[in-house]
């Protein structure tokens, strides 16, 4: 019997006009586009300051893998070509 794979919940904190935030958001959207298991929530830091404080967001962009545990955090511009392999290994590990 096959065990169902868990869904992945990601939260990305950005600043609307920040170039690193824009690149990271685009990179992640392209990376997960064909994966229905991944839910990406993009939050603008200034519009969600209370939640950002609760999560102790100190830099943008910040990506948090909230589910499945353990929680993982990635800080800074994540759009580099070496990031894709890292994300597949850390975010989509079985």
Where do the domains of the chain lie, and which CATH numbers do they carry? 8-91 (3.40.30.10)
Kindly report the average pLDDT of the chain as a whole number: 86
Query: What are residue 63's DSSP bridge partners?
Result: 12, 74
- pLDDT of 51-67, one tens digit each? 999 999 999 999 999 99
pLDDT exceeds cutoff 80 at 3: no
Per-residue confidence at 78, pLDDT binned at 50, 70, 90?
confident
- For residue 50, what are the contacts with CB-CB under 8 A and spacing of at least 6? none
- pLDDT of 8-40, one tens digit each? 999 999 999 999 999 999 999 998 898 898 999
- For residue 15, what are the contacts with CB-CB under 8 A and spacing of at least 6? 21, 44, 45, 46, 60
DSSP H or E stretch at residue 73: strand 72-75
- For residue 77, what are the contacts with CB-CB under 8 A and spacing of at least 6? 20, 23, 24, 61
Per-residue confidence at 90, pLDDT binned at 50, 70, 90?
low
């Amino acid at each position: 019997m096959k065990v169902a794979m868990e869904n992945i919940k990601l939260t990305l904190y950005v600043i609307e006009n920040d170039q690193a935030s824009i690149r990271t958001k685009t990179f992640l959207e392209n990376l997960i586009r064909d994966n229905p298991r991944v839910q990406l929530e993009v939050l603008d830091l200034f519009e969600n300051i209370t939640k950002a404080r609760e999560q102790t967001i100190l830099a943008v962009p910040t990506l948090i893998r909230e589910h499945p545990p353990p929680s993982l955090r990635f800080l800074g511009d994540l759009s580099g070509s070496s990031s894709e392999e890292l994300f597949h290994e850390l975010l989509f590990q079985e």
